[in-house]
Every structure is written in structure tokens, then in C-alpha cells.
Structure 1
């Protein structure tokens, strides 16, 4: 299981976005796997749809923090997995089922393909995205040596330059100053993307999640990198069961022409992960940078997520195909 299937993440998401008239919880989360819910809406304002989805995702209606590494079951495979998934899908009168960010090559994805063929449901992949991670159970210096020269320069070798510019320190702003952390994150995102990263509503979600994950053994790291007491970069990291999840990041773009503060800050965090005996992985999660796929140049491991749609009704299959939904 991952951070996103914890009771903390799932319950905080549902408490924030789940209590709408069109939503109905079909299967609660259990701390191991994702919950499921049914959403009712009208496609293009006309076609009535019942959509079955993972708690933490919304394919058409909401914009919320991304919930990755989704899964239906824990500890079962083969025919037991197919039968369990079939019972779950037959228990809800959905017209479409949209399951986001399943791991490519997983038995659950194969089971969905099998069930779609058996029941004559339409099956299509609606999105695919690469995820990246660093295995941190070895030696940090060996990891650095394996990087390309430019990546090593940005991640580590320019620390000396950065640390010559002022007093450098890192500070975890959880739990004492989360507002300062998210204000800095929004400031950096507005400068880079012309929009906030965290809204008032999603801030409530993050605060609830961060408070609850500690009860499940998680450790939040709202890491602020400071130079002469000025926050120049932030990393939203959470440690859970040996993995550091890098959920968000932001940095001062124009601090110094020779420094990439975001990559430099990641270097400090990855270095720390290598030094922790209870940590074996630093997960960048899915997504790419604005100008380059920086995660690919830093990762030791790559994986892929796919999002799939099942459509039950023959009429809906024709309409979806005609309209390109």
C-alpha cells in the first residue's frame, strides 16, 4: 500500500470533497486500499451518468490533489482477484467506471481487461503518465556517481556555491508553521505557473491529512530551505512505511543564475533519505517539470500509471465513441 491508501488521505479527501448530493460512498477505505464512490452527473449537461471511481479521484467534476498508486485489493491475486473485482463491479449500477492511476503491469489492471472482455464492456485507456523514484538503500555517493554530470552538478556539486551566499539551513514547518509553508508554496507557484497551488479548500484537506497521518506512523516534512532566514525553496514531503513521498515543491526561480534551487533542495532531501536506516525509497510520483523532465534525470526507478474507463451500456458506448468522450 502507499501513502494515498491510508485512512488519513482517504478520509481527509472524503471529508473535504465527498459530501455532495451527487456522491455516494460505495465501499469505504480500510487503510490498505482505496475506497470507491458513485458520482451522478449529466455529461455535457444532457446525458445522465453514474460514474464509479476511487475515493481521492474525480474524472470530470472536481480538481483535487492527485491520488496515485490506486488499488482495489490487498493480498489476493489470480482468480480470487478477478472474482472479487467482479463482485465489486456488479454491486453498483454504474454506467461508466473510471479508475485513475493504476500501475501498469499490475494484476488488477489485467483483471479489468479480462472482465471487460467477458462482460462485453468497452475498455479504454484515457491517460498514461510516468512516475519516478530513487532507491535509497545503498550509498548516496554511489547514487551521485551514477548520475549524469549536469544532474550531479545541479543536485549536489553546487551546494558549495549556494552555501557561500549566506547562512543556509533547513526547517520542518510541520506542525508549528504550516500556514507559512503553504503561503510560500503558493508564492512560488504564482511566480512560475500564474496560479496558486493550494486553495482555501485544499488547504483544509492538507491540514487534516497531515494531522491524521501521524496516527498511522507517517512523518510530515514541510521542508523549507532558507538562506539568511529567507525561504527560497519548499518541499512537501511525507515519510510513510519506508518511503518519502514528494507531493509538491516550489522555489525562487531568480535567486542565482547558476543555481536550480528546486533540484538543490531535492538533493538535500534525497541525501537525508539515504542516511535514514528506516527509509528505502524516495518517490517523486508522477508528472513532469515545466521546462524539462527533471525527475527522469534523477531517478533510479521508473514506473507507469494508466487511467482506464469501462463503459457498460451499448448505447453509451456508441455515444461516447461518436462524441469522443
Structure 2
């Protein structure tokens, strides 16, 4: 199970966004699985949509932090006799960021054939991971020369600017950490990475994940006593999840600060016998897919839509 199926993530997400008009919880997250809810609305104010979705995700209506590594177990469980899911008037189900395994997809295909449902692929993506059950030197030797330069070798350049320190801002400086991360994100992307509801969610989640054995690591890289790079990491069940990053643009023309900061965190993970993976998650960088260059493992993910209503099946078939 991943960080995203933890009670801390699931419960915090529903507390913050579960009161959205049209949302109704159908199957709460149990036994460390994703919950399922029904989202009822009218698409373009005309077509009635009653969409089943994982708690932590939403298709079309709202934007929230991404919930990855989902699986369909909770959906199949909710279809069992005595559960209300089969009798609900849903006309589509969207399952985002499912781990793309042949057995998982084949089972859903068979179910759709048996029941006359339409199955569509709406998105495909890849999550990038670094296996840390090797030494950091072994990991570095597996990288290309340019990647190794950016991740590790140019530490010497940074050290000429001033003394290097790393500090975890959790818990006492958490709000300051997210404020600075937002400011850096505005400079790079033109908007903050966490609006108020998202910030509320993350602070709730981080407080709760500690109760489940997790460890927030709001890592700040200092050079000459100035905070120059920020990494939002969480350690959970043997894995470090890198959720967000921000750094000072143009600090030094020879340095990729974000990559250098990742290098320090990856080295620490390789040195910790209780950790087996550093997870960069899905998504690309602004100018390049730096995650692919750093990773030594990949996890394909797929987002699927199941269409049950006659009108919607007709509309989607006409569309394609």
C-alpha cells in the first residue's frame, strides 16, 4: 500500500473536499484502501453525470493534490452482494492513476463485457522511483555523466559559495516552509502550488501520518545560512515520497539546485537500512523529464473510465 491509501491521506482529503455539492461517500476507505464516492452534477449544465470515483481524485470538476498508485480492490469489494454500489444510479466511473498491471486491467475488461459496460482509457502516465537498497556510489555509477554532474559532482561548486546545511522544518516551521514553497512556485510557474484548502489538507495529512508511523521531512537546503531549496518529502513504510519542490531561480549559473538537493536526500535514503525506495512520483519537469534520468525503476499507471448509462455510452461512441 502506498502513502495515498493511508488513513491520513484519505480522511484528510474527504474532510477538506467531501463537502463539495454533489459529493456523497459510498464506501469509506477500509483496510488501507481507497474509499469511493459519488459525484453528481450536470456536464455543460445539460447531461446528468453520476460519477463513481476514488476518494482523493476527481475528474472534471475540482483540482486537488494528486492521489497515485490506486487499485480497483475497493471497487470490486463494493460490488459484492449486500453492498449498495450496484444499485446506485451511477452512469460512469473514473478510476485515476491505477497501477497498470495486466491482471487488473483484464479483470475489469471481463467485468465490463459481462455487464455491457463501455471501458475507456482516459490517461496514461509513469511514476519514477529510485531503488535505494544499493549504496549511493553504486547508484551514482549507474547514472549518465551529465546527470551525475548535476546531482552530485557540482556539490563542490556549491560549497565554494558557503557552508552547506540541511534542516527538517517539521513540525515547528511547517507553515513557514509552505509559505516559502508557494513564493518560489509563483516565481517559476506564475501561481502558488498550494491554495488555502490544499494547504489545510497537507497540514492535516502530515499531522495524521505521524500516527501511522510516517515521518514528514520538510527538507530545507541552506548555503551560507540562506535557505535556497525546499523539498516536501514524507517517509512511509520504507519509502520516501517526494511530493513537491521549490528553489531559488538563478542562484548560480552552474547549479541545478533542485537536483542537487535531491542528491542529498537520495544519499540519505541509500544510507538508511529501513528504506528501500525514493519515489519521485509521476509528472515531468518544466523543461525536461528529469525524473526519468534519475530513476532506476518505473511504474506505469493508467486512468480508466467505465460507462454504464445508455445516453453516455452513445455520446462517447459518437465522440470517437
TM-score, normalising length: structure 2: 0.95
Kindly indicate whether residue 49 of structure 2 is the aligned counterpart of residue 53 of structure 1: no
- Flag structure 1 segments of 5+ consecutive residues without an equivalent: 75-80
Match of 1:154 among 136, 150, 153: 150
What is the aligned partner in structure 1 of residue 138 from structure 2?
142
* Distance in 2 between residues matched to 1:191 and 1:172, nearest whole Å: 23
The CA deviation at 1:92 is 3.0
- Specify the alignment match of 1:219 in structure 2: 215
1:184 to 176, 180, 185: 180
Count the aligned residue pairs: 317
Distance 2:150 2:241 in 1: 21
Distance in 2 (CA, whole Å) between partners of 1:165 and 1:34 is: 47
* Alignment check: 8 A CA contact 2:72 2:98 kept: no
Contact 1:102 1:306 in 2 (8 A): yes
Q: CA deviation digits over 1:125-161, x for unaligned, max 9?
A: 0001111000001111011001000000000001111
From 107, 113, 122, the equivalent of 2:109 is: 113
Contact (CA 8 Å) 1:103, 1:109: kept in 2 or not?
no
The residue matched to 1:176 in structure 2 has which SS? coil
Cα 1:194–1:31 shift into 2, 3 Å? farther
Tell me, yes or no, if the aligned pair for 2:90 and 2:309 is still in contact at 8 Å: no
Consecutive unaligned residues of structure 2, counting only runs of 5 or more, are none
Deviation at 1:228, TM superposition (A): 2.0
Instruction: Give the 3-state SS of the residue equivalent to 1:59 in structure 2.
Output: coil
CA distance in 2, matches of 1:85, 1:142: 45
CA distance in 1, matches of 2:21, 2:311: 26
Instruction: Tell me what 2:313 maps to.
Output: 317
Root mean square deviation, CA, Å: 1.5
CA distance in 1, matches of 2:55, 2:309: 23
| Residue number in structure 1 paired with 2:7 | 7
How far the C-alpha of 1:320 sits from its partner, in A, is 2.7
Which position in structure 2 is the counterpart of 1:233?
229
The alignment's TM-score, normalised by the length of structure 1, stands at 0.94
